[in-house]
Each structure stands twice: as C-alpha cells, then as structure tokens.
Amino acid sequence: MSDAVILTLNAGSSSIKFAVYAQGDEPALRASGQVENLSPTQQTRLIVERDGDEQVTNIDANDHAGALDAILDKADHLFGGATVAGVGHRIVHGGTEFVAPTELTPEAIAALRTLEPLAPLHQPHNLDCVEAAIAAFPDAAQIACFDTAFHRTHPFVNDTFALPRQWFDEGVRRYGFHGLSYDYITSEIVRTEPSLAHGRVVIAHLGNGASMCAVKDGRSVGSTMGFTALDGLPMGTRCGQIDPGVLLYMMQHKGMNADQIADLLYRQSGLKGLSGLTHDMRTLEQSDDPQAREAIDYFVFRIRRELGGMSAVLSGLDALVFTGGIGENSARVRREVCSGMDWLCIAVDEAKNVENAHDIGTGRVRVMVVPTNEELVMARAVSAALSASH
C-alpha cells in the first residue's frame, strides 16, 4: 500500500490543478501543482511544487490529454516510482442521482454528460479531463467527487422553486455547489472544535466562485447557489441573484438570445461587470476608482443579507467561517461583513483579522478563517474507494 499514490484532478477550461497523495488512512500530501494557460493561443506552463520547491516548465499542450501527458513526463518527480492507484476528479454537478463519490464507468460518464447544460463553465471540462485521465492511467480507479453531493441533505423548501411541481420532478431544483470545500471545512470544525460539531454554522466560501452554506449538525441545510452556479452571491464574473424578469426584458425588448445572455451572466457580470475593471478582488481593493468601491460594497452587502437569512433559517448562529481566496485573505471583506453585526453577537478583533488568524471573533458567535482543502476531500474519497475494493 505504501508505494501507491492518489492523484486528484480539478479541471477548468484552461487549467488543471492537481495534487499527489501517499495512500493511507489519512492521505498525506506529496506534491501539487497545476497546468495553466491550456489553450492553443497561449504558452502553457506546468507548475510543480514538492517539498517547498517550485518548478515551472513551459510545455507543449493545448488540451487536457496534452496536460496529463506533461504531468506523466514528471512521473518520477511527482510519484517517486509509486503506482497511481486511484484518480479523484472534481465534478461540479452530480444532479439528483450522484450523491456520493462514484466510480467513473462509461455509463456514469454518459449520465454526467447530460448535466453539462447545468454547469456549462465547468462540467464539460471536468469530463474531458476524466476521459483523458482514463487514457493516461488505465489501471487506476477513477472516482468522481461531486460539488453538489454535500447539499443533498437539504429540506424540500431549500431545494425547490415555486414552479409547477413537474419542474422539480424533472430536476429543476436548487442543487448548491462548492460541496467539496464545505465538506472539508465541516470536517475541520468537527476535528478542531468538537463543541461546534452539532452547532449552527454559516460557511462563506469566497473565491472567484462564491457561495455560502448553512450547516446544522454537520449537514448542509441551505446554500446560496441554486440550479446552476450562477445564483446567490455576486462572483468574479457571475452575477449572483437576479430577478428573472431582467432576463425576460433582455430577450423580449433587447433582442438578446440565450448565448448572449449566458455570456453576460457568466462572464461579464459580478465584480468585473460592476467595477468595469476586473474580476480580481485584490486588484479592486488596491484601486481608488469609485466603481471598484461599489463592486466591493455590493459583494459585502449580499454576504450580509445571506448571513441574516441563513441565521434565521438555522434559528440562530454559533459560528461564521470564512474560506476561499477572498475569505482566507481579505481582512477588508471580513471586517465589512462583520461590522455592525453585534445584534447577531458577531464582533471581530481587528489585530487578529489582519493576521488572517484562525479565530478572529470576540463575541459569542465564533468567527473563524479556515483555509479550504478540496483536494484532500477527494483524496480521502479515493482512499476509501480503494480500501473498499480490496
């Protein structure tokens, strides 16, 4: 067993993030990295980190298969002669059928392809990478880990829209995403703060994609994301919550077609659309443009609204956890989200906040900063699947 490793893959349209773990009861990280600029028009790069050392190589690849070939070229460095026993894939959408890590058989892949319209930014790339990985590692177990699975414990009222029933029955529901991140944060809370294991917790995953999750007794009872990963908080380039009447107006009075609206909502909106500058929070924070300020104000405003709503749904609050690139690093966003929240027993120690300390709260409600680790959740799932098959 000790000479087997687990590879995790998280594929986007122009990147693959990966990590290598030694197999064990708790998988141990050996190396990580990413292939970036995966497109015919850009110089693709492979970045590998191992033992604190980072290697950057220009590579010749413009699709997922080419990227995996480049990773295989580094097999000695990455795997140290060990066999890749299992590959964990981040799959953004599992629909109603896939509620736990699943072996990627041809039937499962075909079923997951039918969900591509529900997550057009992610699902096709996730599955292209699965097919490339099956070719590259034909003897390894290929395990899908779903961003929707953690939310399948939602009560009906949090899963449904107020549409005629047939729509719910055919799968038009609130699925919720970022489940691997919420799974990890919840496991960390149970490990490090046992008193919160049965508590009422709101987790804010704030990155380029952003959502919040209400957790009770370690299970998701609500998420800001809905049928697709567009709903809820504004994101880097996605609009978040929007009145569906706006879409009707665009179609009926502005002559926009579905592709144009999709491009607007997925790629031109959010922080980028509001600021007119960039999707990147760090850059917005450094800007003195008033529209940058307004974009951050709107981001914070929506988080505060959702925090209030989720606290009501949970009948109170015991902890607020920040994670994701913005949640882990932006003292300003955390400060502004928490300011004037003493009515909810939330208060923040600013000295700890600027240090991104683990515990930044001073009120009854714990306020925590917990770096997420979606790769470890995938490695754990692959390890469990491998153990079960022996």
Q: Which is nearer to ligand ADP, 23 or 330 (CB)?
A: 330
Q: Which is nearer to ligand ADP, 36 or 159 (CB)?
A: 36
Q: Which is nearer to ligand ADP, 69 or 294 (CB)?
A: 294
Q: How many whole angstroms from its chain centre is CA 301?
A: 21
Does 228 interact with ligand ADP (rule: CB under 6 A)?
Answer: no
> CA 33, CA 22: separation in Å to the nearest integer?
15
Cα-based distances in Å from 254 to 250, 258, 260, 270, 273: 5, 12, 11, 21, 18
Question: From the candidates 53, 128, 139, 147, which is the catalytic residue?
Answer: 147
Strands 200-206 and 219-223, bridge-based pairing = unpaired
Strands 83-91 and 53-59, bridge-based pairing = unpaired
Strands 16-22 and 4-11, bridge-based pairing = antiparallel
Q: Which is nearer to ligand ADP, 111 or 331 (CB)?
A: 331
In sequence order, what E strands does the chain have? 4-11, 16-22, 28-36, 44-50, 53-59, 83-91, 102-103, 141-146, 200-206, 210-216, 219-223, 319-323, 366-369
Going 181 to 238 to 367 to 304, the CA torsion angle's sign is negative
Q: Nearest residue by C-beta to ligand ADP?
A: 325
342 part of the active site: no
Q: Tell me the helix, strand and coil percentages in the chain, rounded to 5.
A: 40, 20, 35
Q: Looking at 137-145, 211-219, 322-330, 379-387, which segment touches ligand ADP (CB under 6 A)?
A: 322-330
Does 324 interact with ligand ADP (rule: CB under 6 A)?
Answer: yes
Number of residues near ligand ADP (by CB under 6 A)? 13
Q: Which is nearer to ligand ADP, 249 or 301 (CB)?
A: 301
**Shortest approach of ligand ADP to residue 272 CB, angstroms?**
10
Please, are residues 250 and 184 in contact by the beta-carbon 8 Å criterion?
no
**Shortest approach of ligand ADP to residue 81 CB, angstroms?**
31
Please, are residues 186 and 200 in contact by the beta-carbon 8 Å criterion?
no
Return the structure tokens found at 159. Answer: 């899963």
Does 226 interact with ligand ADP (rule: CB under 6 A)?
Answer: no
Does 325 interact with ligand ADP (rule: CB under 6 A)?
Answer: yes
**Shortest approach of ligand ADP to residue 237 CB, angstroms?**
10
**Shortest approach of ligand ADP to residue 255 CB, angstroms?**
33
Does 209 interact with ligand ADP (rule: CB under 6 A)?
Answer: yes
Does 207 interact with ligand ADP (rule: CB under 6 A)?
Answer: yes
Site string for ligand ADP, 271-310 (x = CB under 6 A): ---------xxx--x-------------------------
**Shortest approach of ligand ADP to residue 328 CB, angstroms?**
7
Does 329 interact with ligand ADP (rule: CB under 6 A)?
Answer: yes
Q: Which residues are catalytic?
A: 147
Interacting residues with ligand ADP (CB under 6 A): 207-209, 236, 280-282, 285, 324-326, 329-330
